[in-house]
């Protein structure tokens, strides 16, 4: 029986890492796969490296397009996938040799719609540590929502954000059935952050059975040039879209959980606003003036939803050290003097980055 896995990879300016990513696919114990790499307008050698692999291995397919963002790149690849199963992989990350074989076996043994694995972070070299292998099967809508979706940090209340999840599953360390993705027309959102977990939630709300595992199958590189660590001048606007899209998803597919979803989304909104302030201070480009930084921070601080949660108690929960003191000042409305006071330090930090 054919068990092809379509590997979806959005590619943008990762020529230093992409070969290691591709090689980890070639090293898979399960060799029945197709790779659909979308070169999303790269300006380095990433697109050329993709073409080199495609020239050597017919299982690699490359699409070159103008830069439209990671979500649109994945959507484009999904239109072309032909495998029975789908796996999403970022181009600077690495797989274990057993990843495809193990997740596929889990999915088949449990007659599941999705197998959710664990990811681990690394910077330069992968460091494997002992772990206890545990597998959980979740059947039916209630178990999927209670045991999988609400176990995810994205929907936990603010006071529980630091709690350890039962299984640290991720969107990009999971194996999906292509048929369900296509049947329910599940696609990525036009936002830069949170578009991946949205797809996982959408899929889980349509699935009948999921199996999770504590076995690390995916290595996520802490790449300082990735979207996760990038300055985003419209982060507050993206956060508002994030909130609306997620709320509407549960409003449509699980309205009985809306009260709990709202609490989790409020907490996530608060944390993303804190992140917007942090990005403005530490990730803004050197040419960004203190006045521009101050104006952006004022906009975030004065956002009505954020203001409701921007309390001294929550600041203590979400910040430490110097950044906590900065947030205390911002809470009091002391923004411009603080930004000007630290402007040189911030600029030096950004220049070093």
Mean pLDDT, the chain, whole residue set: 91
Q: Where is pLDDT greater, at 155 or 232?
A: 155
Q: Is the pLDDT of residue 227 over 70?
A: no
- The answer to whether the pTM exceeds 0.95 is no
* Distance, CA of 4 to CA of 28 (rounded, Å): 13
- Taking the domains of the chain in order of start, what are their residue ranges? 5-227, 231-352
pLDDT of residue 353: 47
pLDDT of residue 76: 97
Q: What would the two tokens of residue 4 be?
A: 């092809």
Give the containing element (helix H, strand E) for 172: strand 169-177
Q: Pick from 205, 227, 177, 197: which is nearest to 119 by CA?
A: 197
Tell me if 273 sits within 8 A of 330, measured CB to CB. no
Q: Where is pLDDT greater, at 205 or 343?
A: 205
- Of 82-96, 113-127, 311-325, the one with minimum mean pLDDT is 113-127
pLDDT of residue 224: 59
Topology at the third CATH level for domain 5-227: Spore Coat Polysaccharide Biosynthesis Protein SpsA; Chain A (3.90.550)
* Distance, CA of 133 to CA of 53 (rounded, Å): 34
Q: What would the two tokens of residue 127 be?
A: 């460091």
Instruction: Name residue 220's beta-bridge partners.
Output: 121
Q: Is the pLDDT of residue 123 over 90?
A: no
CA–centroid distance for 306 within its chain? 22
Angstrom distances, CA of residue 209 to CA of 132, 141, 188, 218, 296? 23, 8, 22, 22, 44
């Amino acid at each position: 029986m054919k068990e092809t896995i379509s590997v979806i990879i959005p590619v943008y300016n990762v020529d230093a890492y992409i070969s290691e990513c591709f090689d980890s696919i070639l090293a898979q114990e399960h060799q029945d796969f197709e790779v659909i790499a979308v070169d999303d307008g790269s300006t380095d050698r990433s697109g050329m490296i993709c073409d080199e692999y495609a020239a050597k291995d017919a299982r690699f397919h490359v699409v070159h397009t103008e830069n439209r963002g990671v979500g649109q790149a994945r959507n484009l690849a999904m239109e072309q996938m032909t495998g029975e199963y789908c796996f999403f992989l970022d181009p600077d990350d690495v797989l274990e040799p057993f990843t495809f074989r193990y997740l596929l076996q889990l999915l088949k043994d449990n007659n599941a719609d999705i197998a959710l694995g664990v990811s681990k972070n690394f910077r330069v070299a992968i460091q494997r540590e002992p772990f206890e292998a545990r597998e959980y099967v979740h059947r039916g809508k209630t178990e999927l929502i209670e045991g999988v979706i609400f176990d995810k940090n994205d929907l936990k209340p603010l006071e529980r954000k630091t709690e350890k999840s039962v299984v640290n599953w991720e969107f990009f360390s999971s194996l999906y059935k292509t048929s369900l993705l296509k049947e329910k027309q599940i696609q990525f959102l036009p936002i830069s952050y949170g578009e991946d977990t949205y797809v996982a939630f959408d899929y889980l709300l349509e699935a009948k059975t999921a199996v999770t595992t504590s076995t690390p199958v995916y290595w996520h590189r802490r790449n300082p040039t990735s979207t996760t660590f990038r300055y985003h001048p419209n982060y507050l606007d993206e956060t508002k879209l994030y909130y609306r899209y997620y709320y509407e998803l549960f409003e449509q597919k699980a309205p009985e959980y809306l009260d709990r979803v709202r609490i989790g989304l409020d907490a996530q909104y608060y944390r993303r606003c804190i992140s917007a302030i942090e990005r403005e201070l530490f990730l803004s480009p050197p040419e960004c003036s203190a006045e521009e930084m101050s104006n952006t921070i004022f906009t975030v601080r004065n956002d009505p939803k954020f203001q409701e949660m921007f309390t001294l108690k929550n600041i203590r929960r979400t910040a430490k050290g110097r950044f906590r003191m900065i947030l205390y000042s911002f809470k009091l409305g002391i923004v411009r003097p603080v930004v000007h006071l630290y402007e040189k330090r911030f600029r030096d930090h950004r220049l070093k980055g």
